[in-house]
Structure 1
Amino acid sequence: MSTVFQQARVALGARLRELRTGVTGRELAARLGWPQSKVSKLETGRQTANAADLTAWAEATGHAEASAELHARLSGLESHTRSWRRQLAGGHRPVQDALSVEYERSTTLRAWEGAMVVGILQTPDYARAIFRAYADLQHSPRDTEAAVRARIQREEILYRPGRTFHIVMWEAALHARVAPAPVMAAQLDRLVGVLGMDTVHLGIVPFASPVRIPPANAFWLYDQRLAITEDWHAELWLDDTDSVATYRRVWDRLAQAAVYGPAAHHLLARARTALDT
């Protein structure tokens, strides 16, 4: 969990505790029909409140007018940590649209992906398999076709002058069978074509390559202003200078272990051959 996010959550908890002045935690829990432990966790920053929790808290403590303030604090908190439960409430398409805005705003983009082919280089069938898998995991609305269209439309930005994509993937991403073999084969062929593009520098870290840092979670860097990284429960949007600089150092270390051009082509060909065997 990011330090920025946790600090914001603790500050929100402190504000909730202020509003509870004159009411014991046990009394408030009884009014709300909550376990007393929930009151404690919200006040100490060990649990994140949702909008309904905050409205109920403000009303139960006699401070209904504070509801708007609490919601604003929650919105600021979620500008850094965006839970998948909330983001995917309307499906995957809105998430894709939000990311497209950041692509448009940026000129130099860097990505690290260790588990699957990075989104902007996915074929429609590969993207379809990924969206379906995550919809099953998150129990989110199935707007797969709309999400695929949004992702493929965003790929048009790869062909515009004035932007450069530095993308590094672990060799494992070429072998993870997240889609049927024919879909995987087409996806690998697509990556071979990417190797010749002027706007994309695609590197692959071989299994046997010494790495200066363990390959971990995927992330994108948008210029020097924003890092977006994913976990199973949420996305982190980090725009503070120290966090962005940390992710840039991670990217640099992983990129140093990557191979490019003909050597990357060899790894793609090896993964393609493995599909047949």
Structure 2
Amino acid sequence: MHSHSQHNQHEQTEGNLKLAFWLNTVFAVVEVFGGIATNSIAVLSDAVHDAGDSVALGIAWYFHRISSRKRDKTFTFGYKRFSVLGALVNSLILLSGSAIILVEAIPRIFSPQHVNAQGMMYLAFLGIFVNGFAAFRVRKGETQNEKVISLHLLEDLMGWMSVLVVSIVLRFYDVPILDPLLSIAITLFILYRLYGSLRKTFRILLQGTPKQMQAEEIEKHIREIPEILAIHDLHIWTMDGSFHVATLHLEVANEMNLQETEVIKEKVRHELHHLGIAHATLEIELQGQTCDLNDC
């Protein structure tokens, strides 16, 4: 059941990334022509940004497909971590794109340019619809790759909302400086969000314990099983932000036979599964056995 659920989730994620990729790619082309027609640098900047997002979505889609492969002799842990690699690449693309927007927006504060406000408004409505729909499709993603892509799309959505606000204001008032000011504010907000996303990505790559899990709490639950005398060498990490793994040593009484230890293992695996651990490797040790991995 768990494997079937993960398979369905993987297919749904790939479908969402595929849809978002094609929506962004087609719309980026529309933006280029729209930006030229309206003489709007803001729209052209969004076109460049959306083109970058299309590349990011393509990378995310590619890495996500790789992450579904079965483990082999080269990658004995499987390919799930490729999804996290995709998240890292996309974060760097988003960071670069945000830097470019800041470089373009800051000079425009001192030399604002007049644009076709009505054309900007029509493009903004279309941009909000396209990016809003794509963001809606990937917003519930559980992998770090999807979360970074969601951040990409959120930035695009907010960018088009700012274009809409500016275009409406510019139809009635001659205040072109609003365009770069809003662009800078949105970019700074996205950079703040990106910082948190990068921290999560590096936590996964550095084998950190998943944030929603506490090693002490997991150990406490396992110790409640009567046959368990002690626990050590507990390691918990996540492969991609949603598939969590654990290894640990269990100490039991000397009189335990093989069949009884297998029953204990099943109890521990059941408890770990209930706590969110998808895969666990357990080693049984008899009471008093010497183990050099207590502090490993």
Which has the higher relative contact order, 1 or 2, with Cα contacts under 8 A spaced 6 or more apart?
1
- Say whether the fold is shared (TM-score over 0.5): no
- TM-score, structure 2 as length reference: 0.30
- TM-score, structure 1 as length reference: 0.31
Larger Rg: 2
